Amino acid sequence: MTAIELNDVSKSFGFGATRIHALEALSLSIPSQGVYGLLGPNGAGKSTLLRMICGLVRPDRGGISLFGEPAGPPTRARLGALIDAPTFYPFMTAREFLAMLASVSGVRADVPALLRRVDLTRAADQKVSGFSLGMRQRLGIAAALVARPAAVILDEPTNGLDPDGMIEIRHLIRRLAQEEGLAVLLSSHLLDEVEKVADRVAILNRGRLVAEGKVGDLLGGEERLWLDVAQQEPVLEKLGEVAWVEGKGVAVRIARAEVPRLLSSLLSENISVYEAKWIRPDLETFFLAETRDSKA
Amino acid sequence: MALPVRSELQKIFRQRALFAAGFLAVPAFAVLAKIFTDGILFARVARALPAAGIDPVLSAARSLGVADNSLAQLFFALGVASIFVVDYRFATWRHLIPRRSRLAFWSAKSVAALACLSLSLLLVALGDLGVTLVLAVLRGQQIGDFTWAISVPVFFLALLVAVAELLALTAMTALLTVVFRSSMAAVLSVFLFGLATVLLQVYLGSSSELGWTPSAAASLARSGVFDGGRFQVVPYLSGICILLCWGVVCGVLGFVLFQRQELPSE
């Protein structure tokens, strides 16, 4: 079963020449368990998509289903969301804010436990206006969890957190998915973060879906040998289709056993090799390749 | 429905300055004005006159006419707009919209605004009652001499007019707050509209041509209560109906706009 399903969703803002297509015929299925990463450069349509799921923005075309039913107030009540920068009533304390959200949701929430979970116990009775960005981020995550949701939408949840805080939130996200069985839709610019926690990812660019699948499958390409050589042309000529320019060097698709022979043949042809290293496929490289391709 | 109302009340009570300006300033000014005018009258003239004929409940009923005062409406509109604008101002719709239907939030804000306005009217009436009683006792009247029962129905009829007028004001302010997403723009528009209708009424010299405006409708309804010495049903009900029409039309229009309003950033 899917937690969130988008069918052929489109959304534009503005009129005439200033019209911007935020999303174009987007279809996605987010499973009811696990972490689903949403990636995309600025302006790709991620925030519009998240706001649309939460009912803040209406699609021009297409439909959204939540937990197998058309999206509406009853199904949206099963979502928890942290969208964009966390915003609060500055005149309330963290405890009051969470209690208020729980009462609006019609649930009895264990606010002290929730505050402990995001490490805000000591600041529980401070007004939110005095919170640092990291504390606001933690309170935003607590707000998303206050009504015991079945699916959580987290938009840049580690923004403003220190490295320890980022690791804690990453663990929290994994726990939510693995131990509590929630669906987590995680939007982030931090590709490394998404790669570490997400089971599946979707990459958006200019409102379109450019790649989607399991992280392992998307990065399923072979490792490649990267060479920093004095002259690239002779290497490319010698190796043909298995070599290409990558950055300031040459990448070679080659088996590990073949490397000593390759290096000695380059040296024998007086091609200086300054550095040779194995490069594992990562999400950043994949992301850049996908978003650059579609820009072109 | 009950729970969002409580959260709306909590939000406005926590914004103390706005709550005081919107809902406590008018009763405070009304009581001060009553003390000032009746105090002068008491000091200059009334002390020497017999104390008979003072009716505190009727005086309290008349004091509810403050709902028709343009300056009072400016403060009331500020209070109402503060309730409706808070989630635009702090960009907190994103926390609320996924949790309940927009109708629940719209209704909760409307009920919270009307509850605060009713509290304000109650304070105006209680303040007037208190000042009248104190001054009457100072003039030597006994509490047992007051004719409470006769004016009680008049008080409730006048209260209904004031509530209906403030219902129309609430709906209009809510509509404009949703349109502008700003309390200042909404409050100024409501104030200018109220002022313009009052000026037109003064200029034309009769409320008949402008009977459809909230101010004229309220005057019509009040004339049914206070003019002629006895209750007149037709002007009273006509005025109330016009005010309710304003309330319903603006309220429904505001809700429809809010229901369809995009919130790409609050």
Whether the predicted pLDDT of A289 surpasses 50 = yes
- Enter the tokens of residue A18: 């200033």
The C-alpha angle with vertex A271 and arms to A267 and A277, in degrees rounded to 5, equals 75
Same structural domain, A94 and A164: yes
Structural tokens at position A130: 């005095």
Edge-to-edge order in the sheet of strand A2-13? A20-31, A2-13, A61-66, A69-70
| Higher pLDDT, residue A221 or B174 | B174
A60 and A82 share one domain: yes
Element (H, E) at A50: helix A46-53
The residue among A288, A277, A281, A218 whose CA lies nearest residue A250 is A277
How far off is chain B from A47, nearest CA to CA, in Å? 8
Task: Report the alpha-carbon distance of residue B121 to residue A1 in Å, rounded.
Answer: 55
Q: Between chains, do A58 and B260 touch, taking CB under 8 Å as contact?
A: yes
* Beta-bridge partners for A249: A246
What are A2's two structure tokens?
């899917």
Banded pLDDT at A296 (limits 50, 70, 90): very low
What residue type is A32 in one-letter code?
S
Quote the tokens at residue A45: 């349509």
Number of other CB atoms surrounding residue B55 within 10 Å? 17
Distance from the first to the final alpha carbon of chain A: 36
Look at residue A290 and tell me if it is in a domain. Answer: no
**B128 to chain A, closest Cα gap in Å:** 33
Residue window 59-118, chain B: list those with CB within 8 Å of chain A.
86, 90-102, 104
What is the chain B residue with the closest CA to A104? Answer: B4
Asked if residue A285 belongs to a domain, the reply is: no
What residues of A are in contact with residue B9 (Cβ under 8 Å)? none
Total structural domains in chain A? 2
Q: What is the pLDDT along chain B (266 residues), one digit of tens a residue?
A: 556 899 999 999 999 999 999 999 999 999 999 999 888 877 777 666 655 667 889 999 999 999 989 999 999 999 999 999 999 999 999 999 999 999 999 999 999 999 999 999 999 999 999 998 888 888 777 777 777 777 889 999 999 999 999 999 999 999 999 999 999 999 999 999 988 888 887 787 655 566 788 988 999 999 998 887 788 999 999 999 999 999 999 999 999 999 999 998 77
Domain annotation covers residue A101: yes
Residue A133 included in any domain: yes
Stated length of chain A: 296
| Chain B environment of A73 (Cβ under 8 Å) | 100-102, 104
Alpha carbon of B10: minimum distance to chain A alpha carbons (Å): 9
The pLDDT score that the predictor gives to residue A294 is: 52
- For B13, other C-beta atoms within 10 Å of its C-beta total 14
* Nearest to B65, CA basis, from B162, B164, B153, B197: B162
Residue A4, beta-bridge partner list: A30, A66
Token pair, residue B87, equals 């989630």
Task: Give the domain CATH number at A239.
Answer: 3.30.70
- B94 → closest Cβ in A56, A92, A104: A56
Domain that holds residue A185: 2-218
Cβ pair B264:A48 closer than 8 A? yes
pLDDT per residue over A34-92, tens digit each? 999 999 888 889 999 999 999 999 999 999 999 999 999 999 999 999 998 889 999 99
- Single out the residue in A218, A250, A268 at which a domain terminates: A218
Q: Tell me, what amino acid is at B137?
A: V
Phi, psi of A203, deg, nearest 5: -115, 125
What tokens appear for B118 in the block? Answer: 């009713």
Give the CA count within 13 Å in the CB-facing half-sphere of A148. Answer: 9
Give the SS3 label for residue A148. coil
Nearest partner of A109 among A64, A56, A147, judged by Cα: A147
Residue B264: per-residue pLDDT:
82
Domain end: A198, A218, A238, which one?
A218
CA distance B236 to chain A (A): 39
Judgement on whether residues A94 and A183 belong to the same structural domain of the protein: yes
Q: Do B264 and A84 touch (CB under 8 A)?
A: no
Cross-chain Cβ contact B86/A89 below 8 Å: yes
Q: Is residue A114 part of a domain?
A: yes
Q: Which residues of A touch B266 (CB under 8 A)?
A: 87
Instruction: Classify residue A65: in a domain, yes or no.
Output: yes
Strands A183-187 vs A200-205: parallel, antiparallel or unpaired? unpaired
Q: Quick count: other Cβ atoms within 10 Å of Cβ B233?
A: 8
In this structure, the answer to whether residues A241 and A202 fall within a common structural domain is no
pLDDT at residue number B53: 65
Which A positions 40-99 lie with beta carbon below 8 A of chain B? 48, 51, 54-58, 73, 76-77, 79, 81, 83-84, 87-92, 96
- If asked whether residues A82 and A141 sit together in one domain, one would say yes
Tell me the average pLDDT across A112-123: 94
Tell me the CATH number at A177.
3.40.50.300
A108 lies within 8 A of chain B by CB: no
> Under DSSP, is residue A70 helix (H, G, I), strand (E, B) or coil?
strand
A229 shares a domain with A195: no
- 8 A C-beta contact, residue A172 and residue A144: no
Contacts of B171 (CB under 8 A, 6+ apart): B110, B246, B247, B248, B249, B250, B251, B254
- Best mutation target among A15, A100, A145 (most B Cβ atoms within 10 Å) is A100
Tell me which residue in A87, A89, A105 faces B99 most closely, judged by beta carbons: A105
Band of pLDDT at residue A162, cut at 50, 70 and 90: confident
Q: Which residue out of B5, B14, B95 would a mutagenesis test of the A interface target, given it has the greatest number of A Cβ atoms within 10 Å? A: B95
> What percentage of chain A has pLDDT greater than the value 70?
97
Query: Under an 8 A CB cutoff, do B100 and A73 touch?
Result: yes
Residue in chain A lying closest to B5 (CA): A104
pLDDT digits (tens, 9 = 90+) for A232-283: 999 999 888 889 998 889 999 888 888 999 999 998 988 899 999 988 777 7
The residue among A21, A91, A96 with the most chain B CBs within 10 A of its CB, best to mutate, is A91
Has residue A152 got a pLDDT over 50? yes
At residue A223, the 3 state secondary structure works out as coil
Alpha helix (H) ranges present in chain B? 2-14, 16-19, 25-44, 56-63, 70-89, 93-96, 102-138, 148-180, 183-204, 214-226, 233-260
Q: Inter-chain contact B262–A106, Cβ cutoff 8 Å? A: no
Q: Are residues A177 and A140 in the same domain?
A: yes
Task: Tell me, yes or no, whether A168 and A253 share the same domain.
Answer: no
